[in-house]
Amino acid sequence: MTLGDAAMFAQLSPKSAEIVAHTRTLLESGGYNSFSYADISALVQISKASIHHHFPSKVDLVREVVARYRAEASEGLGLLERQLADPLKELTAYADYWSSCIRGGKSSFCIAAMLAAELPTIPPEVASEVRGHFEDLSAWLASTLERGAERGQFHLMQSAPLEARAFMSSVYGAMLAARGLDDPDAFESMVQTSIDRLTRNR
């Protein structure tokens, strides 16, 4: 998926957009197996048959939501790179984005992370988009760390791809800890520790 793919999605009707928004919230809070079309019907206040008109199956709906989420994330990461043009600032801005989301209650967990925990049980069409999200993010982090290492901003103990996966793990682990501890501030402190490790020997 490229950074321009979000713009390639067909524009949703107002009702379809509402269905997608509610589905995204349900995925974030409980994952794929936590809700049904009956739950969406109650939230959107239309019949289950009407939801099937917009999205024939739950697989179609969730795949659409995750594909859009993946494209939005890729565009956001690309925007950081274009606007900041500084690897350390880009990495910090990425962490700050999630920190502000978690503290503000707007988005306390990445839906791709929630779905990754369900990979053995979710449909392959959805699983493919979930894996794609992590591949996109891992590639961006590796590129950012590599560029930063060339500038002397980061000190990498391992290859950039391995360090990228380690940092990605710290971000998602911090999300889980913040939720488990019911402490939004835990995310920021834990991820900052990972950034400090990368910049310690500058």
Tens-digit pLDDT profile for residues 119-134: 999 999 999 999 999 9
Question: Which residues are within 8 A (CB) of 116 and not within 5 positions of it... i.e. 6 or more apart?
Answer: 130, 134
pLDDT, tens digit (0-9, with 9 covering 90-100), for 9-40: 668 889 999 999 999 999 998 999 999 999 99
Place 6 in a pLDDT band, splitting at 50, 70 and 90: very low
User: Does residue 163 register a pLDDT over 70?
Assistant: yes
Axis-axis angle for helices 124-150, 87-104 (nearest 10)? 130
In angstroms, the CA 135 to CA 100 distance is 24
**Closest to 109 measured CA to CA, from 176, 154, 55, 38:** 176
- Shortest CA distance to 145 belongs to which of 159, 130, 135? 159
* pLDDT score of 4 more than 60: no
Ranking 14-28, 63-77, 107-121, 130-144 by mean pLDDT, the lowest is 107-121
Q: Whole-angstrom Cα distance, residue 1 to residue 120? A: 23
Query: At residue 201, does pLDDT exceed 80?
Result: no
The third-level CATH classification (topology) of the domain covering 62-199 is Tetracycline Repressor; domain 2 (1.10.357)
**pLDDT tier at 112, thresholds 50, 70, 90:** very high
∠ CA 163-159-92, rounded to 5°: 35
Locate the domains of the chain by residue range: 62-199
With H, G, I as helix, E, B as strand and everything else as coil, classify residue 45. Answer: coil
- Res 79: pLDDT: 95
Which pLDDT belongs to residue 9?
Answer: 64
CA–CA gap between residue 11 and residue 20 (Å, rounded) = 12
Rounded percentage of the chain residues whose pLDDT exceeds 90: 85
DSSP string, 79-144: HHHHHH--HHHHHHHHHHHHHHHHHHTS--S-HHHHHHTTTTTS-HHHHHHHHHHHHHHHHHHHHH
Instruction: Tell me the CB-side half-sphere exposure of residue 46, using CA atoms within 13 A.
Output: 13
- pLDDT grade, residue 104 (50/70/90)? confident
